[in-house]
Amino acid sequence: MVGCTVFDCFGAGQALSARVDWRRDPQAAFAAFAPSRDLHELLRLLVEAAGLARSGSASTADDDGLPGRLDQAISEIEASAAADPAELAALDVDRLRAAVNPLLLEVSARVRGEGPDHRGAELIGASLKGADLRRASLRGALLIGADLRGADLRGADLTGALFLTQAQLESARGDVTTAVPGHLRRPLHWALRTGG
């Protein structure tokens, strides 16, 4: 099952193993890994958001300092991610996520523009067959078992997708006609599918 083989630690494993020997202190390493992974994922999202803010994709007529606010958030998350394993294990990642979430939502809204808001929606088993999900926000939506026929990624142009990860692509259904952003690669299993 494709979804079962997909995992991305966003570099947290490498960063953590450079600071703690999991063979000598496996409890400390494993306790610190989950918060470290969450922080590295936040960093990946913030760096992408900062790039969008600087490129003009998320700009506004007046300079409200969005790139600077994103840089500050990046510095704070980097400092937290560099903490020793005991501090990482005790870290309140939800508090940090809540602090940067408004910035990510702001960038997302500026880039996407007006579109359907399905954030946090319970769409388990929902019929979204043929749904127009362009510019939609599906952040945190539960799509388990949702019917996305005609709304899946086959033939979609994802080159402008925000905060898309390789793990998400690997667990999605696409094909050779699906365009992906340059920093990601088309999953190998998509080559076996055609658009239909």
Q: Distance between CA atoms of 165 and 183, rounded to whole angstroms?
A: 9
Positive or negative torsion for Cα 171, 174, 180, 183: positive
Distance of CA 184 to the CA centre of its chain: 12
Tokens of 49: 């958001």
DSSP 104: H
71-98 b/e (C-beta count within 10 Å ≥ 16 → b) = bebbeebeebbebebeebbebebeebbe
Angle, nearest 10°, between helix axes 66-81 and 93-112? 150
In order, the DSSP letters of 38-72 are: HHHHHHHHHHHHHHHHHHTTT--SS---HHHHHHH
Residue 3, sorted as left (phi over 0), alpha (psi -120 to 50) or beta, turns out to be: alpha
Distance of CA 67 to the CA centre of its chain: 19
Kindly give the confidence (pLDDT) of every residue in the chain, 196 residues in length, as a single tens digit, with 9 standing for 90 and above: 344 455 667 777 778 777 777 788 788 888 888 899 999 989 989 998 998 888 876 655 456 789 999 999 999 999 999 998 889 999 999 999 999 999 998 888 888 777 788 888 898 888 877 777 777 888 778 877 777 666 667 777 787 777 777 877 887 778 888 888 888 888 888 887 554 4
